[in-house]
Amino acid sequence: MARDDSTSALKVLGERLFATRQLTLDLAAALSDADATIQPFPDASPAKWHLAHTTWFFETFVLRDHVLGYSAFDERYAFLFNSYYEAEGPRHARPRRGMLSRPSLDEIRAYRAHVDEALDRALPDLTPEALELIELGINHEQQHQELFLTDVLATFAENPLQPAYGELPAPACYATEPLSWHRGRDGLVEIGAPGAGFAFDAERPRHKVFLQPHEVAGRRVTNAEWRDFMRDGGYQTPTLWLSEGWDWASRERIEAPLYWHDDGTQFTLGGRRDIDWGAPVAHVSYFEADAFARWSGARLPTEAEWEDFASSADPLIGNQLDSAGAVIPRPGGGMFGDVWEWTRSAFASYPGFAPASGAVGEYNGKFMCGQFVLKGASCATPRGHSRASYRNFFPPAARWQFTGVRLAKDA
């Protein structure tokens, strides 16, 4: 029975692995080589680089380290497609990834096929340690699938022709429900991932925190509410802003969410279209989210408040990525999907946190400085990837991701 269970689990893992690998290819199917080469700004990456880096991850940490006799597809790719793993040696500078006109998109597809075939052959004989790296690699690639879409959006937004990545459904007629407030638990609660099942290292260990009396909004802030903030001078009122945020907004001339235009349209993966005023606001920074919360007489939730409030919600429900295609936040929704939600909590280690040994230990721990936690999932998050304990994180000025706002307040 134990052997049957092991065989079944291996089969499921293999199916998930190759379904994930195929989805990434599907996401890139509509792109030309030129589309896939452009890097719109240093924090984003070309689509071609995402395709290659996720492949390098499996080639390096699974095939090279755990499969005897494996030969690299191209030894030079280790320099080109390492992201930030210092233990793996020197690498191509991140801001210059868009200069890689070669290898071509077709060559990257051939690289992926080579690695996938090797993974398929090796899978039945991999050690438990290697299988854990397969699981990590699946989740790593799912993160890059979301980055792939947000980076394509940023790339196409730079083009005066305003091309569409794909088709989007027309905005649905939706009456926004009044904002309601729900009492969260107070006192001692537990947050963090439980011991069983996959979670990134930064989600553990599970531990106790103390919550003060508070309330959490029943829905996210909408585009219409953000328009009210703008019309009331929210971007011109320094008393609403953190000092660093005000300096950033003034320096960068920030006056609206990213991709909004003065004519009431926004740029999306489906091209330029009218703003859906009932949909959750997206592409706002932590600085903007914090200013909006202060303007509204509320605040952002802490990570612990959000996680405890969402602990009974189903992370599989909501507007999330199911297959290749354009995505956009939609009205309605629960705790997961549409937009990631800023919290007021810094991304820091939990009590007792210890990074994994080796290069993969650089995955999260080294970034625990100057970042804020986001919770939930977005319309570009592969369904099944997120959970209440999931800790997304970005610096406070970042807004090219599908980032939005849920309010909280003291009770």
pLDDT digits (tens, 9 = 90+) for 110-153: 999 999 999 999 999 999 999 999 999 999 999 999 999 999 99
Domain ranges, ordered by start, for the chain:
2-157, 181-410
What tokens does 337 get?
Answer: 């999907």
Could you tell me the pLDDT band of residue 249, with boundaries at 50, 70 and 90?
very high
The CATH number assigned to the domain with range 2-157 reads: 1.20.120
pLDDT digits (tens, 9 = 90+) for 365-395: 899 999 999 999 999 999 999 999 999 999 9
Name residues whose C-beta falls within 8 Å of residue 319's C-beta, 6 or more positions apart in sequence.
Answer: 327, 329, 330, 333, 337, 338, 379
**Can you tell me the distance from the alpha carbon of 195 to that of 86, in angstroms, rounded to the nearest whole number?**
29
pLDDT digits (tens, 9 = 90+) for 175-198: 788 999 999 999 999 999 998 899
C-alpha dist (Å) from residue 232 to 9, 269, 280, 299: 56, 29, 19, 18
* pLDDT (0 to 100) of residue 391: 98
Residue 2 confidence (pLDDT) above 70 = no
**Can you tell me the distance from the alpha carbon of 339 to that of 377, in angstroms, rounded to the nearest whole number?**
6
Per residue in 173-194, is it b (16+ CB within 10 Å) or e — as a string?
eeeeeeeeeeebeeeebebbbe
Residue 1 confidence (pLDDT) above 50 = no
Strands 403-404 and 340-346: parallel
pLDDT digits (tens, 9 = 90+) for 296-323: 999 999 999 999 999 999 999 999 999 9
pLDDT digits (tens, 9 = 90+) for 76-99: 999 999 999 999 999 999 999 999
What tokens does 248 get?
Answer: 């950033």
Give this prediction's pTM: 0.96
The CATH number assigned to the domain with range 181-410 reads: 3.90.1580.10
Could you tell me the pLDDT band of residue 174, with boundaries at 50, 70 and 90?
confident
Handedness of CA 217, 204, 356, 131 (dihedral sign): negative
HSE (side-chain half, CA atoms, 13 Å) at 222: 20
